[in-house]
Amino acid sequence: MARPARGGRTTCESCISIDVRRWHREGRLHADQYFSCSWTRGGEPSGRINVRTECGEAVLSYRAQNWGASEWKSIEQRVPIAWTACHLGGRRPWFICAVYCNGRYCGRRAAVLYCAGELFACRRCYGLAYESQQETPMRRGVSQAQKIRMRLGGSVSLFEPFPEKPIRMHWRTYLRLRARAEAAEHTSNWLTMQWVNRLKRRRELA
């Protein structure tokens, strides 16, 4: 169901996942509800599960196929749901990751569970990385700078002049963001130069 990122660990974003906050928003956590969730990848269906809610847990039913295996298996997984109080009142739900990982029961609270194997489990049990963690330091600097430029109303292009201060933003905030973007661009440029120099040296030696 999941694919490893280029040259690295499998990422959260490449896995099928369920988010308890979303189910809560959609009013799906009351007992005795039935619903299904489905996913697509590149326009093709890539997964589907049926969910039944009971008192304090969600029961997931689906069919899974292990890597390399040709047969499909029917799976029913019970996922406990816990509630904690919020600072500003109200309460929020969590999935409890109820799987055994390396022989130990996990039991962690998680907002999102991923299916990177047969069962739904937390990010740590599957050792998943976020896509941003997979970026090279060079690329990370560029995307940090791009995010700041876009937050200030600019485009993603680093070749355009740096965006002006938005009217409602404090100068202090603007200058802090600008300094952070410039530092990120500078680091990224410096790493790119190092990389180019290394390539050149390698060519000269060849």
Interacting residue ranges for Zn ion, rule: CB under 5 A: 97, 106, 108, 121-122, 125
Name the burial class of residue 138, with classes exposed (0-12), middle (13-18) and buried (19+) by CB atoms within 10 angstroms of its CB.
middle
The whole-angstrom separation of Cα 153 and Cα 130 is 26
In terms of CB distance, is 97 or 181 closer to Zn ion? Answer: 97
Is the CB of 9 or the CB of 108 nearer to Zn ion?
108
Minimum Å gap between C-beta 101 and Zn ion is 6
Minimum distance of Zn ion from residue 112's CB (angstroms): 11
Residue nearer to Zn ion on the CB measure, 15 or 122: 122
140 contacts 166 by C-beta, under 8 angstroms: no
- For Zn ion, the closer of residues 49 and 122 by Cβ is 122
User: Can you name the residues that pair with 57 across neighbouring β-strands?
Assistant: 54, 80
Q: How far is the CB of 128 from Zn ion (least distance, A)?
A: 11
**Sign for the pseudo-dihedral over CA of 81, 84, 89, 92:** negative
Shortest gap between Cβ of 164 and Zn ion (angstroms)? Answer: 46
